[in-house]
Structure 1
């Protein structure tokens, strides 16, 4: 069946034959390389290896530590012991939270504290071996002799624990969480556990970690009834014998089995952000049997369908594994946050019920993911984009704080600057994703124009930005980055305003989106702190993070002057002119990639993966290598992108150069390895780079195929000599989303030497701000 506006398989093949093209669908599909779930679990990648589904609510994974920045995900490769297995995790973030409902299967005397990482014998930690992870399944051997296996459905975690002969017990610890020793107040201020007459263990807690006041609830069933249950309250006080539950701040339960090794103990645990009844319903809907292996197989099938969206040939075995692993990590978030009955907690902290067939989501790391992850999803998972966009519009309308910034399980953390839900909405609108964009406009307008509206850190100085055209560096921290990112959000907001029929507001936002000019000093060609009186920071040094020595007062967000200079994504030709024209801009780009890779002592660890002063390990300038195409030198883009693809990613635990940031770093790899990247997602076009593989086949909706091929491509051929689209010469250094998603064949002829003529003509350069330089 072919829906209107799509191309059927038959018509695609017929048109291909008419063009004299080989028929890619007739070729045997290559075997999909396995994903290495341990990529990013070392270094600063902050990923986890446990079991989850694409956008799943449950992320059931081992925790090795909670006291280091290295373990924002709860896990770090190389830690010698496992504390237990918890049901929620963040992938690749620079701040930690979650780790809800820790389960510890073990033997011997009951211990209620994990003990320090350096001395596992002092607590319930266990050394481990034989660790194995694959999409939807995790397995490990614990030193107690317990074999632990984990798998999942969307809203339930499944455990299978095989004990040695003899007694054993399972600890359920609701006091387990990412620690922050700077917090004086209790991070958990209420928690409860209770056992029902049918043996279901239920409970929940309220946590004030990163998402302040976040609530989580669970319902847990066991395949074997424990011989007894012991509850523990605050200060690990044992509750009276026969107690059916406990309330407090740091509550725990121990489930005792006198003959734990008689047969495996299975656990199935549903979670909910709404209430225990929601967790029960989720469990009842998704746990209708006790067959662990069936759940594991279903999870594997789900992942196979998702990962088969992109199949690659060529490259090295490691590169093919990195590609599959990067796609896997790019599909983890945003995460499901609505129960099977459609209820969820909105940004107003109230419980809402969704229309039939719709879903709510959490874990929108928007400052990071608007750049590449959401654009990637518009290609490989457009149906999910439709669901995400509807959810973002709905939650934006419900939020008293306006467009989503960094929401986590019903709490707006407000982390990072700007309101980057709007670029995701504007991109989807530009790409033809159907949604009620006008419904988001009232709260976008409030965030854009109502300067009396309560501010989060993400939007400080908006009144000055509107009145003066920039955020003064002596009034607000991170002023240079704020000005530029507010300008980008204005560009995106102008699109939504126009869709809502608000022409005057759209024009005002479009004009204001040019405010980026006011923090880039054309005299020196750098983004530079500017004060309230209009003067620039006199002793400017682009290496520094700001004009004040104190690390908490910076003029840039996770960047310095070098990186912030190229932050502009939406008006590249305006930036080129502002900085003195094409040759001056090209020279400045060259200088970025060739400057000494030195940073000040107060630089955050996020600024990593340096090539000169370009920082691939963080987001602000991840599009910078592609900017050469706008000055007619795409061969420089090609050389640098190939270098980044091969140097910044490895098939190792430390294989991601910085935090994966909910899949942004991985999405950059997937798109760039395919050969194109969205410099400005709102423009809905992709700039060509350097494809990594000889052939990539993307499965699109309606059984369409997009084949990206580079015959003979290898490590010595990073440059593009020419391009064909559906068998015809393609002289442009870019292609539109609308063309790509129709399906077809994009052919790169690669070369060991640059081809300066390709993409050099003005008419062949990418559009920006709705225009080309022609």
Structure 2
């Protein structure tokens, strides 16, 4: 299965004077005013249930855009479909923890669990089959309420209503208790994803007075050795306190308590409908950092003010894009997808600017900078990061400078999949290079270009990790020496191209040209006889046996990363024109594209579960396929992209808990929908160019600055008209099926006329094809 912040309380401003000093993304969250013709709130369309069932791996709890705290219920903490700690299929809740991953294919986090109970104290969660054996509670989905920044549920076994909301680094809870002499909270530091006997490396707890707990823990899961610290306060002093360390009750609470399993039980006598609140801040630095975060972001107990501010923050962010037309279902999927696209990467710094670096040391940020975590780069470089350049451009320089710092600090070099100051080394390539190259291509200011060039040059030319020496020596990676050789080789080709773009911008033309040439190494893996990208042995011979739906030539390891030859053959995002030439021309590429969509969907038994959402051998449930339907734009029949994209929009997404074709992967699955439903996508983010697909809505309005909008107006007689007939740009005929990021940010207006039959001439001239490495003399800036 290993396939892989301005908070101000509106009605409580006088309570929040300390917040203005906090280092917060919210200081720039309200850059743009409401730009819509209608003042209707778009957040009403967000259905947080979507993706919480099936294989979506999403959580339903309370967080802010890119929030460091994700306060959410945990229904289970083991197994692939519980990577986020929650699955809609469950009927009991273990408690509410403060950190969660959104839609990943590997589990971690679920830190600092809190559960509210009545009755006899239980220090174990119990099982899903028998929740009464522990502190779990049954619940019913009809008793759940979830909206951006808020979650509520009735814990039916205890008759306790739990409500959750959040600031960026603090989770606030409100519990409404029944009358009971045996009410209590359990705070379980041993809880986490896959909480086996050796997962917690260490934990500690200190009691401060009769209303505060502080502590921390380190875990040995996916982000092996990561550390998380917390500060927790309750609104009413606890009547008494019990603490258990490694299964033994400890009566002396005056000293710091240490162990691998620590549970604290906060006892209360409650009256009917009594409310007790709790607020918990986290830090990656230390307990003092967590306390500073708590004091800065939540200095009061006004739960409703926090909830209202969270809702307003989400509305401000979601309304960056307004869509008109379409069905209610389509709007629900669209805005839920946009919501999911704004959950990661997450901030990972304290209000005083301190953060834990990839070198394991604590650092202090320069003014205006932020540290981030949870970069699912192999997934998110494709659509999620391009979407962020559109809807959150003010964050892009800080994110890029963060990636550059990570590369300087990490022994692994360029970030691959960093999580809470640890490199998970998950997936192939080092696609932080692509994300940085995209930002450079789009002209974002404030990126330290020379530092970026330095770390990227070192990675491409000197790094000795993850097969890079083999790649440099052979111009491909031999499959009998290194696993996933085809995917790794193709990813390094694309990363070479990305690095070359940054080096060219930084003035290192000589090295840029060399890496441009090396990025053509994908040609070394294409077998013209079979028409597929294939693994090669050290000798240069093709590995046998071979079948286009197989994972690899032997049982030792796979030759492809979460893909097979069908999908990997199209993994040349920087040079579709070159791929077409290699195949025998534009018509040959068209035939191969037809082939993947029309092939049998049969997969071998060892296929990873990530390969899902199949149309033939196209797998929309996993990222390697996401650009493929757009490659028709590089053939003589570019119109064929349009019905294919429309079909995928309609068939691969639903407004139901299991409404995602595959796991969400930190916004990528959702970002594909947002981009494609707006009618455009990036086959190669480093090009700065967007290609047209088939817009789902009648009008798309994007606020690019406070006074400027990018607008697409669509006319059609009925929703079934999915073919583009003509494109008008600011009153003039536009003959191409692509445009640039400069067009978007300058406030260009497109008018697209749709029809029921294709316009076979639009965009068909090879001279009008979108950018490609083989044609990189095209000026797309």
For the aligned pair, the TM-score class normalised by the smaller chain equals: over 0.9
Q: Distance in 2 between matches of 1:189 and 1:220?
A: 21
Task: Verify: 1:232 aligned to 2:232, yes or no.
Answer: no
Q: Distance in 2 between matches of 1:262 and 1:47?
A: 31
Q: Structure 1 residue aligned with 2:147, among 134, 138, 163?
A: 134
Q: Structure 1 residue aligned with 2:613, among 606, 609, 615?
A: 609
| 1:399-435 superposed Cα distances (whole Å, 9 cap, x missing partner) | 2221111100010111101111011100000001121
| 1:89-138 superposed Cα distances (whole Å, 9 cap, x missing partner) | 00000000000000000101111111111111111110113001000000
The residue aligned with 2:220 is 208
Task: Verify: 1:333 aligned to 2:344, yes or no.
Answer: yes
Q: Distance in 1 between matches of 2:63 and 2:118?
A: 27
Q: Structure 2 residue aligned with 1:532, among 532, 538, 541?
A: 538
The residue aligned with 2:623 is 619
CA contact (8 A) 1:726 1:745 kept: yes
Where in structure 2 are the equivalents of 1:709-728 lying within 5 Å? 709-712=713-716, 714-728=718-732
Which consecutive residues of structure 2, in runs of 5 or more, have no partner in the other structure?
1-33
| 1:137-159 superposed Cα distances (whole Å, 9 cap, x missing partner) | 00000020110000000110000
Task: Verify: 1:370 aligned to 2:381, yes or no.
Answer: yes
Q: Distance in 2 between matches of 1:245 and 1:173?
A: 16
Measured at CA, do residues 519 and 320 of structure 1 come closer, stay the same or move farther in structure 2, by a change above 3 Å?
Answer: same
Structure 2 length-normalised TM: 0.93
The residue aligned with 1:282 is 293
Measured at CA, do residues 728 and 648 of structure 1 come closer, stay the same or move farther in structure 2, by a change above 3 Å?
Answer: same
Report deviation, 1:763. 2.4
The residue aligned with 1:16 is none
CA contact (8 A) 1:425 1:437 kept: no
Q: Distance in 2 between matches of 1:593 and 1:585?
A: 13
Q: Name the SS of the counterpart of 1:498 in structure 2.
A: helix
Q: Structure 2 residue aligned with 1:762, among 755, 766, 770?
A: 766
The residue aligned with 1:484 is 490
Q: Distance in 2 between matches of 1:154 and 1:759?
A: 45
Task: Verify: 1:574 aligned to 2:578, yes or no.
Answer: yes
The residue aligned with 1:149 is 163
The residue aligned with 2:175 is 161
Report deviation, 1:773. 11
Report deviation, 1:262. 6.5
CA contact (8 A) 2:41 2:315 kept: no
CA contact (8 A) 1:683 1:770 kept: no
Q: Distance in 1 between matches of 2:253 and 2:592?
A: 73
Task: Verify: 1:218 aligned to 2:224, yes or no.
Answer: no
Where in structure 2 are the equivalents of 1:112-511 lying within 5 Å? 112-129=123-140, 130-143=143-156, 144-167=158-181, 168-179=183-194, 186-197=198-209, 199-234=211-246, 236-240=247-251, 245-259=256-270, 261=272, 263-434=274-445, 435-451=447-463, 453=464, 455=465, 459=466, 461-511=467-517
Task: Verify: 1:548 aligned to 2:548, yes or no.
Answer: no
Task: Verify: 1:639 aligned to 2:643, yes or no.
Answer: yes
CA contact (8 A) 2:211 2:235 kept: no
CA contact (8 A) 2:610 2:622 kept: yes
| 1:622-643 superposed Cα distances (whole Å, 9 cap, x missing partner) | 1000000111322110010000
Measured at CA, do residues 544 and 110 of structure 1 come closer, stay the same or move farther in structure 2, by a change above 3 Å?
Answer: same
Q: Distance in 2 between matches of 1:136 and 1:233?
A: 34
Measured at CA, do residues 381 and 713 of structure 1 come closer, stay the same or move farther in structure 2, by a change above 3 Å?
Answer: farther
CA contact (8 A) 1:397 1:442 kept: no
Q: Distance in 1 between matches of 2:411 and 2:481?
A: 25
CA contact (8 A) 2:36 2:322 kept: no
CA contact (8 A) 1:202 1:220 kept: yes
CA contact (8 A) 1:232 1:246 kept: no
Report deviation, 1:56. 0.4
Q: Name the SS of the counterpart of 1:257 in structure 2.
A: strand
Q: Name the SS of the counterpart of 2:139 in structure 1.
A: strand
Q: Name the SS of the counterpart of 2:180 in structure 1.
A: coil
Deviant stretches of 4+, over 6 Å: none
Which consecutive residues of structure 1, in runs of 5 or more, have no partner in the other structure?
1-23
The residue aligned with 1:15 is none
Q: Structure 1 residue aligned with 2:520, among 514, 527, 530?
A: 514
Q: Distance in 1 between matches of 2:256 and 2:180?
A: 27
| 1:699-729 superposed Cα distances (whole Å, 9 cap, x missing partner) | 1123211111212364311111111111211
30-39 or 276-285, which moves further after superposition? 30-39
The residue aligned with 2:8 is none
| 1:651-708 superposed Cα distances (whole Å, 9 cap, x missing partner) | 0000110011000000000000000000000001011100011111111123211111
Task: Verify: 1:91 aligned to 2:102, yes or no.
Answer: yes
CA contact (8 A) 1:401 1:447 kept: no
Q: Distance in 1 between matches of 2:715 and 2:678?
A: 13
Q: Distance in 2 between matches of 1:117 and 1:421?
A: 40
Structure 1 length-normalised TM: 0.93
RMSD: 1.6
| 1:240-270 superposed Cα distances (whole Å, 9 cap, x missing partner) | 2655552100111000002264731111111
CA contact (8 A) 1:270 1:279 kept: yes
Report deviation, 1:539. 2.9
Q: Distance in 2 between matches of 1:707 and 1:440?
A: 33
Q: Distance in 2 between matches of 1:531 and 1:354?
A: 47
Q: Structure 1 residue aligned with 2:741, among 732, 737, 741?
A: 737
Measured at CA, do residues 260 and 210 of structure 1 come closer, stay the same or move farther in structure 2, by a change above 3 Å?
Answer: farther
Q: Distance in 1 between matches of 2:346 and 2:774?
A: 33
Q: Name the SS of the counterpart of 2:457 in structure 1.
A: helix
29-38 or 399-408, which moves further after superposition? 29-38
Q: Distance in 2 between matches of 1:352 and 1:668?
A: 35
Q: Distance in 2 between matches of 1:523 and 1:773?
A: 31
| 1:178-208 superposed Cα distances (whole Å, 9 cap, x missing partner) | 1176xxx711121011111363210110101
CA contact (8 A) 1:645 1:672 kept: yes
Corresponding residue pairs, total: 739
Measured at CA, do residues 772 and 342 of structure 1 come closer, stay the same or move farther in structure 2, by a change above 3 Å?
Answer: closer
Where in structure 2 are the equivalents of 1:613-692 lying within 5 Å? 613-692=617-696
CA contact (8 A) 2:95 2:136 kept: yes
